[in-house]
Amino acid sequence: MNNPLVSIITPSYNQAQFLEQTILSVINQTYTNIEYFVMDGGSTDGSLEIIKKYDSHITYWQCKADLGQADAINQAFKMCKGEIVCFINSDDILMPNAVQTAVTCFEINSEIAMVHGNCSTIDENGIEIKPKVGSPVKFKEVLNIGMLPNIYQPSCFFNKSQLNRDYFLDTKFHYAFDYELILYILKNRTSFYTNMHMAAYRVHGKAKSQNVKAAFKEKLQVQWMYMKGINFKWIWRKFKTTVFK
């Protein structure tokens, strides 16, 4: 890859409180060969006014109903022209050098499917509540634990040519689509961890991830999809008692 185009997608719905910070974190990247998609699901809280404010910096935006977060991201993915793709939710932020860091890693090895780095956790006011963490991860480790240990979706960048499937995110999942994508890559492709601060993940009361039970059920469903040939009996016990409860 040589100065590759990077496609960044922000799905959003009624996140005006944080949306501007997310947009600014994208348009203020030190790397400039970026196309930016903002996919709003029909917000009624002032998000549209914020999007229009930065219209000249956004390649494409829409404000209309969709079938959920994964569907909105997939719509943009079909329009993307970039060799590298990432999605940053409308309550999370990218660090200024995140894109340049990812590009440098992919330029060193274009066969890598995913680059990820460190990610801090912040509260609704942007104050850090958990220091930046990250580490190399393996497929069985992520499947075994049932979550993303030291790998946070906002810090992940994907090599579009290495995905090798007809869709970006599996739209039957509303909470665990990022978990499924990362498991797919860890099982079938190569990933690379860089010890750089790439993003911040925001925790707040209105975050979709706060629906712990629904998110947990979907993660178990994803685990079950990827269990073939792997003897994790404890996963089956959790699956039976949670999903079929």
Of 112-116, 135-139, 143-147, which gets the smallest average pLDDT?
A: 143-147
102 token code pair:
């990812």
| pTM of the full structure | 0.90
Give me the residues paired with residue 199 across strands.
Answer: 94, 119
The C-alpha atoms of residue 65 and residue 71 are separated, in whole angstroms, by 10
Residue 235 above 60 pLDDT? no
Domains recognised in the chain with CATH numbers: 6-242 (3.90.550.10)
> Taking 90 as the threshold, does the pLDDT of residue 147 lie above it?
no
Q: Are 185 and 158 in contact (CB under 8 A)?
A: yes
Report the pLDDT value the prediction gives residue 40, as an integer from 0 to 100: 98
Binned at pLDDT 50, 70 and 90, residue 153 comes out as very high
* Number of other CB atoms surrounding residue 244 within 10 Å: 7
For the chain, the first-to-last Cα distance in angstroms comes to 49
pLDDT for 23: 98
**What is the mean pLDDT of the segment spanning 167-193?**
94
Nearest to 155 by CA among 188, 124, 198: 198
Residues 6+ apart with CB under 8 A from 238: 146, 220
Per the model's pLDDT, the better-predicted residue between 45 and 242 turns out to be 45
Weakest-pLDDT range from 18-22, 59-63, 171-175: 171-175
Reported as a single tens digit per residue, the pLDDT across 7-23 is 999 999 999 999 999 99
Looking at the chain, the whole-number percentage of residues with pLDDT higher than 70 is 88
The whole-angstrom separation of Cα 5 and Cα 155 is 18
pLDDT at 164: 87
For residues 237-242, give the mean pLDDT.
Answer: 51
Average pLDDT, the chain: 89
Selected residue with higher pLDDT from 170 and 204:
170
Each residue's pLDDT tens digit, 218-230? 988 888 888 865 5
In this prediction, residue 202 carries a pLDDT of 95
Amino acid 211: pLDDT: 66
Name the residue among 118, 82, 119, 87 with its Cα closest to residue 103.
82
DSSP three-state, residue 20:
helix
Q: What percent of the chain has pLDDT over 90?
A: 71
| Per-residue confidence (pLDDT) for residue 161, from 0 to 100 | 94
